[in-house]
């Protein structure tokens, strides 16, 4: 513990660093997602949990990635099949994705096993109830391994860990407009919060926050290193809480 504290103090001597106060939450998860006070996650065994009243409650089904946001609760399983939580049941959605994000303004987006990028507009996303509901997935140019959306745009990273921003997204135009804008830095995963915050983790397990994001400047101004003990692999931010999954699947609630 002392070595960890010393390491954090040394990191704070560097410019562009911010120390995080973290508490370990009981349990273990492989992946986590939070929005509007709701927290969902999956384990290495594809079991699904939600945080209810401070306690992890297991949900039926098996998913490798789950997401919650303005678009509802969605997920994908080990075979890349897509599901939406309708009432208390997981309903399969036509298509295949390896990662999915519900953080868009009532639209979902994600990437498939070939790093193809797709989104489903507001009407189909909100209206999907099961067999017979239309699912006009729209393809985007380029290739990404991880893609996440918020109110000021969508962010993604490719296999080289390069970071890209898609502007002009809307409920009716989930594909966005214009070309991809490459953003400085390298990240292995990236998540956009429902209020527009952007956090990511690099290949070394370090967490970064994008600063200066506004409606007029959706790309922001720079990255801040979020100093904490240990290495991370997945993050999600909501209502002042940065939820972190460490490389050994521990759960941290940081602020």
Cβ distance 31 to 66 under 8 Å?
yes
pLDDT in tens, the chain (255 residues): 443 443 444 444 444 678 889 999 999 999 999 999 999 999 999 999 999 999 999 999 999 999 999 999 999 999 999 999 999 999 999 999 999 999 999 999 999 999 999 999 999 999 999 999 999 999 999 999 999 999 999 999 999 999 999 999 999 999 999 999 999 999 999 999 989 999 999 999 999 999 999 999 999 999 999 988 889 999 999 999 999 999 999 999 999
Predicted pLDDT at 186: 98
Q: Cα–Cα distance between 188 and 176 in angstroms, integer?
A: 23
Predicted pLDDT at 17: 79
Domains belonging to the chain, first-starting first, are: 2-12+20-254 (2.130.10.30)
Quickly list DSSP for the chain: -HHHHHHHHHHHTSTTEEE--EEEEEEE-SEEEEETTEEEEE-TT--EEEEETTEEEEESS--SEEEEETTEEEEE-TT-EEEEEETTEEEEEEEE-SEEE--SSS-EEEE-TT--EEEE-HHHHHH--STT-----EEESS--SEEEEETTEEEEE-TT-EEEEE-S--SS-TT-SS--EEEEEE-SEEEE-TTS-EEEE-TTS-EEEEE---SS-TT-SEEEEEE-SS-EEEEEEETTEEEEEETT-EEEEE-
Nearest alpha-carbon partner for 111 in 50, 166, 43 = 166
Predicted pLDDT at 229: 80
Instruction: Tell me the Ramachandran region of residue 239: left when phi exceeds 0, alpha when psi lies from -120 to 50, beta otherwise.
Output: left
Predicted pLDDT at 25: 96
Predicted pLDDT at 9: 41
Nearest alpha-carbon partner for 192 in 173, 216, 169 = 169
Predicted pLDDT at 7: 41
């Amino acid at each position: 513990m002392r070595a960890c504290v010393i390491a954090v103090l040394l990191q704070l001597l560097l410019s562009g660093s911010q120390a995080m106060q973290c508490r370990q939450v009981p349990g273990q998860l492989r992946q986590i997602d939070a929005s509007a006070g709701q927290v969902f996650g999956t384990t290495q065994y594809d079991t699904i949990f939600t945080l209810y009243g401070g306690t992890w409650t297991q949900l039926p089904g098996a998913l490798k990635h789950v997401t919650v946001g303005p678009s509802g609760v969605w997920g994908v399983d080990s075979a890349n099949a897509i599901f939406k939580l309708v009432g208390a049941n997981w309903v399969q959605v036509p298509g295949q994705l390896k990662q999915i994000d519900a953080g868009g303004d009532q639209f979902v987006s994600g990437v498939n096993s070939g790093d193809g990028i797709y989104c489903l507009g507001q009407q189909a996303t909100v209206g999907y109830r099961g067999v017979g509901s239309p699912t006009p997935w729209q393809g985007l140019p380029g290739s990404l391994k991880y893609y996440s959306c918020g109110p000021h745009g969508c962010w993604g990273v490719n296999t080289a860990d390069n970071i890209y921003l898609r502007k002009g997204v809307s409920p009716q135009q989930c594909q966005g407009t214009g070309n991809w804008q490459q953003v400085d830095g390298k990240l292995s995963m990236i998540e956009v919060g429902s209020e527009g915050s952007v956090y990511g983790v690099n290949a070394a397990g370090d967490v970064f926050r994008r600063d200066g994001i506004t409606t007029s400047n959706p790309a922001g101004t720079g990255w801040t290193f979020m100093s904490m003990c240990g290495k991370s692999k997945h993050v999600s931010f909501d209502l002042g809480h940065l939820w972190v999954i460490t490389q050994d699947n521990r759960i941290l609630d940081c602020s």
